[in-house]
Structure formats: structure tokens, C-alpha cells
Amino acid sequence: MSSVAQRLHEAAQRLAIVTETPRLDAELLMAHAAGMSRSRLLACLREELAVPRFEEFVQRRLGCEPIAYISGEWEFFSLEFIVEKPLLVPRPETEHLVEAALAHFKKSPKPAPRILDLGTGTGCVAIALGKNIPGAHITATDLNPAALAVARKNALRHGVAVELREGDLFSPLGAEETFDAIVSNPPYVESVEWNALSPVIRLHEDPRALLGGPDGLEVIRRLILQAPQHLVPGGLLAIEIGERQRDAVSLLLERAGFVDIHFVNDLAGISRIACGTHGAA
């Protein structure tokens, strides 16, 4: 039997055709197959371990399946979330959405803020906010009942109370319900871009969570138009957007009456989170 180091090296060479991080992928897959942490695995590099499912996991990864689906969980904002196919895998870029909301409440503290997460998916944004804002009242909507089932599991896992409602954007809400902040990672990929996406995304993740129409703004337009009805004066709207959508989204926010419009860049320097405040604080 080969050592852990040898098997990782061989797997990384094979995985290089489907990922930019072949060694990391190999380590994560073997750790999952062995039922141990990655750090524990790396302490066993010279050992020979029986890891019978490792080859199965490598084959699935060679089919461009996201590691999150293979392992059944993924880290977001230093929390581990259950992820089930084909729900959108939590991205590092979306952590900036959480940071934008946290920055808003740091600037304008509220004892028990009401926060709405639209299109919650796995619940990662809502739950991360609940973990970091004591006393917050979190409501999350999604039109996919399977997503809400996973979000419920994640909320229980992390001990965060989230009121989950099924429906498209604001449709599950009462006309008079208002919030101190609304956050969302809506579909924003242009339809024509679908075939150009990585096969890891295109072959496995739900296109409903990604595609936003011909210009990527179909859902964002509706969201911005309806948000003022459900925000208190001074309330925050924070939306994740696409790489080339800053100017268009800025204009949509301005036309909807938002002020203090600003954008948060991701680590690549791309305007990733659009923020606006509803009326005067």
C-alpha cells in the first residue's frame, strides 16, 4: 500500500485537469474519505492508511463535481454548512455581504435588529448574521423548498433562530412587514454567459440560483423596486452583484430612492456588494 503522501501526489496530478488547486482538493477528499480533519491527515503523510472511498471521491471530482457536494458540507464565514446538490455552494465573495450588514449595524446599532435574507439557499448568510448579531430577528425566504429544508438543518446545527418562509423574494411577507436590513445574493449571471461558466458550476449547480436573464438584472430589478416597502427609514439594502453590473445597479438604487449608495469590493477588486440606505436615517 502506498503512503498517504504518495496517494495525495498521484491524485493531485490527475485532478490538475479540473481544478486550480489539485493538491488541496486531494487533501480535502482524502480527509473526508478517512473521516478525519485535514490537519490530522497531514500529520499522517508517511503512514499507510486504508481509505477505500478515496478513489470514488477522486472520480467524482474528475467529473467536475464540487467538493462541497462530495463532502456534504462547506465552510462559510468560519462556520461549517450542510450543502446538498444542486444548491448553490457558499462562495468567499458572498462573505462580503455579511460584512456589509455587520458594518451597517456597527455604524447604526440596534438592540434587536430585524434582518431579511432573500433567496437564502443553504441559509449561510442568514445564519452567519445571526451568529454575529446577538438578539437579531432573522427572516429568510426561498422559492425552493429543498433549500429551506437544508437551511433549517443548518440553523439547528448552529443554534440560530431563523424564520424560514417559502416563496419568491418578498411574496411570503405581509405588506406591512419592515426590516432594518435586507440582504440578498440573487441570481445575476447573464443567460448568454451560461455556457462559458466553469463545468463545476454548469454541470452541477442549480441554474435557477445563478441566471438573472439576458442582462443578469431581472431579479435584481424586482428586488430593488420592492425593497423600500419593506425597509424602515435608514434601513440597509445589500445585494451581491456581477462583475460588470455596478453602474446599472447604482442607477437602479438611485431611481428607487436609495441614498448613501456605495459598493464593497471583493478580494479581486471587483465591486461585489451593492449597498444603499432607504431614505433618511
Q: How far apart are CA 96 and CA 101, in angstroms?
A: 9
Q: Tell me the three state secondary structure of residue 189.
A: strand
Asked whether this chain's domains 4-63 and 87-278 adopt the same fold, the reply is no
DSSP summary character for residue 90: P
Answer for the pair 248, 188: CB distance below 8 angstroms, yes or no. no
Domain 4-63 is of which CATH architecture? Orthogonal Bundle (1.10)
Answer for the pair 233, 278: CB distance below 8 angstroms, yes or no. yes
CATH class of the domain at 87-278: alpha beta
Domain locations in the chain as residue ranges: 4-63, 87-278
Q: What is the pLDDT along the chain (281 residues), one digit of tens a residue?
A: 689 999 999 999 999 999 999 999 999 999 999 999 999 999 989 988 889 899 999 999 999 999 999 999 999 999 999 999 999 999 999 999 999 999 999 998 889 999 999 999 999 999 999 999 989 999 999 999 999 999 999 999 999 999 999 999 999 999 999 999 999 999 999 999 999 999 999 999 999 999 999 999 999 999 999 999 999 999 999 999 999 999 999 999 999 999 999 999 999 999 999 999 998 54
Cell of residue 241, nine digits: 452583484
The amino acid at residue 35 is: G
Whether this prediction's pTM lies above 0.85 is answered by yes
Q: How far apart are CA 28 and CA 25, in angstroms?
A: 5
